[in-house]
Amino acid sequence: MKKYWYLLFIGVFIIASSCKGVDKADETIRYTTPVSLGDPFIMLHQGVYYAYGTQAEDGIEVYTSDNLEEWEKVPALALHKDNSFGDKWFWAPEVYYVNGKFYMYYTAEEHMCAATSDSPLGPFIQEVKKPMLEGEKTIDNSLFIDDDGTPYLFFDRFNDGLNIWVAELEEDLITIKKQTLHPCIHVSQEWEKVWPRVNEGAFVTKHNGMYYMTYSANSYESPFYGVGCATATSIMGEWTKYPDNPLLQKPGNLVGVGHSALFRDKKENLRIVFHAHHDDKNIHPRKMYIGKVEFKQEGEVDKLYISQEYLIPKLTVTQK
């Protein structure tokens, strides 16, 4: 009897081991890792979140998510250099859905460009392969459409370090009305003077009649890269920076925090997406983070606040 049970045990063990080996051969491993994107931007369209950013050498990547926490990378680039001005340095994309078409604003070789697509996944095509503002370097172009339908483009010029300007766009949302070029902000506060002279990455939203601009200061390479806010009652008027800037700098254990953009989640909550250094010793690959933004009444106007807590989006990776 003992011999019978012993042989039965050995047989079961061999079969189980054999089956386990077969499973391993066909096993699909799924794991998560932080999303590596610099200069990130998130758009919500028809219940799906789309994230774009600086990462690929030959164009712009796109990621998708249903919940902001778990993301998947789309295999094909949303924008490839074959369809764009420039051959390298594809930075800071933002995508907007306007009148049935998707518009991507991005930088290539330190020149701002715009491309269009019928899908948020692309392919985005730049019909005329030249910069939006020829003859000078400009980066970080961001679209804002006012309540009356007037489109504006905010961007960085290199005429005093890096500083932020605005201009009206034609109805095509691509052609700049050069006669409307107007300076907004430049390096002016002590916290912005760590290294070098940089005000960049503007993003503008409107709340209760006031315009709010989040922007980044210091070099993105600096651990003291941070996010400030400026306000204006008129886009072409004077922009005033918050005296208590920066609103976001070194939250938790993050360093090199900046180049942010705002968006609304599925519950209409205002969110901010930004990048930080890979860790306190390595800048690249930068990682994407998501925080919360709210307006609180102070005196006669509302003030924009950025939470110091943040979500770490995870990329789902499938490997056989």
When pLDDT is cut at 50, 70 and 90, the band that residue 16 belongs to is very low
Pair of tokens at residue 60: 């712009």
For 9, residues 6+ apart whose C-beta sits below 8 A from its C-beta are none
Q: How would you classify the pairing of strands 38-45 and 48-54?
A: antiparallel
- Tens-digit pLDDT profile for residues 224-250: 999 999 999 999 999 999 999 999 999
CA angle, 150 as apex, 145 and 154 as ends, to 5°? Answer: 55
Q: How far apart are CA 63 and CA 70, in angstroms?
A: 10
Pair of tokens at residue 119: 């899908």
pLDDT at 43 over 80: yes
For residue 25, what pLDDT is reported?
44
Q: How far apart are CA 131 and CA 138, in angstroms?
A: 9
For residue 317, what pLDDT is reported?
85
When pLDDT is cut at 50, 70 and 90, the band that residue 27 belongs to is low
For residue 206, what pLDDT is reported?
98
The reported pTM is: 0.90
pLDDT at 119 over 90: yes
Is 142 within 8 Å of 204 (Cβ atoms)?
Answer: yes
Which residue carries 């979140």 as its tokens?
49
CA angle, 185 as apex, 258 and 112 as ends, to 5°? Answer: 65
For 167, residues 6+ apart whose C-beta sits below 8 A from its C-beta are 152, 153, 155, 176, 177, 178, 180, 181, 182
Peptide bond into 151 cis (omega under 30): no
- Tens-digit pLDDT profile for residues 146-193: 999 999 999 999 998 999 999 999 999 999 999 999 999 999 999 999
Q: How would you classify the pairing of strands 70-73 and 314-319?
A: parallel
Domain boundaries, the chain: 32-319
Average pLDDT of the chain, as a whole number: 92
When pLDDT is cut at 50, 70 and 90, the band that residue 31 belongs to is confident
CA proximity to 92, closest of 278, 258, 246: 258
CATH of domain 32-319: 2.115.10.20
pLDDT at 9 over 60: no
When pLDDT is cut at 50, 70 and 90, the band that residue 195 belongs to is confident
